[in-house]
């Protein structure tokens, strides 16, 4: 199964929380050196990670917020799948999305999850039937 970009980003940010070398990141996230360099450059430009000492990468405060926001969303997935989507879940997801909005790519991805879950909630409310297009 292919990993999404957000899974790779989360893996890098988690690996670098206490400081990691590029080799540590490559082995922890299972990627090659070119891919790692591309992601480290992106994460540096967005302010999610920084090179503290020559060759040591560390997740920034902004990067830690990304990890927290993603863990909130991932924490709801089993409940959402099991019971449909209660209104309180939508409100919590919307709040998490608002907090992560400034985090560009992650915020956009969370917005898509929220929109999808709202659609599922609407289908559940209609008795599982899709709306007819006119």
Above 60 in pLDDT, residue 124?
yes
Give the residue-averaged pLDDT of 26-32.
94
The residue that leads in pLDDT, 73 or 103, is 73
- Paired with 93 in beta bridges are none
Model pLDDT for residues 44-63, shown as the tens digit of each residue: 999 999 998 889 999 999 99
What per-residue confidence (pLDDT) applies to 70? 85
Show the domains of the chain with their CATH numbers: 5-59 (1.10.10.10), 62-125 (no CATH)
pLDDT band at residue 31 under the 50/70/90 scheme: very high
Contact (CB, 8 A) for 67 and 14: yes
Above 80 in pLDDT, residue 6?
yes
How far is CA 24 from each of CA 13, 20, 45, 59, rounded to the nearest angstrom? 12, 6, 20, 14
Please give the share of the chain, as a percent, with pLDDT higher than 90.
Answer: 41
- Give CA–CA dist 73/79, Å, rounded: 11
What does pTM read for this prediction? 0.58
Above 60 in pLDDT, residue 108?
yes
Give the residue-averaged pLDDT of 72-86.
68
């Amino acid at each position: 199964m292919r990993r999404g970009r957000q899974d790779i980003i989360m893996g890098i940010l988690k690996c670098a929380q206490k400081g990691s070398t590029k080799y540590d990141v490559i082995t922890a996230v299972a990627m090659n050196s070119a891919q790692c360099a591309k992601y480290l450059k992106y994460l540096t430009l967005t302010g999610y990670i920084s090179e503290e000492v020559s060759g040591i990468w560390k997740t920034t405060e902004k990067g830690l917020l990304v990890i927290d926001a993603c863990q909130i969303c991932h924490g709801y997935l089993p409940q959402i799948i099991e019971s449909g989507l209660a209104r309180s879940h939508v409100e919590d997801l919307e709040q998490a999305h608002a907090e992560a909005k400034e985090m560009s790519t992650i915020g956009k991805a969370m917005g898509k999850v929220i929109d999808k879950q709202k659609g599922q909630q609407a289908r559940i409310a209609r008795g599982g039937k899709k709306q007819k297009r006119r």
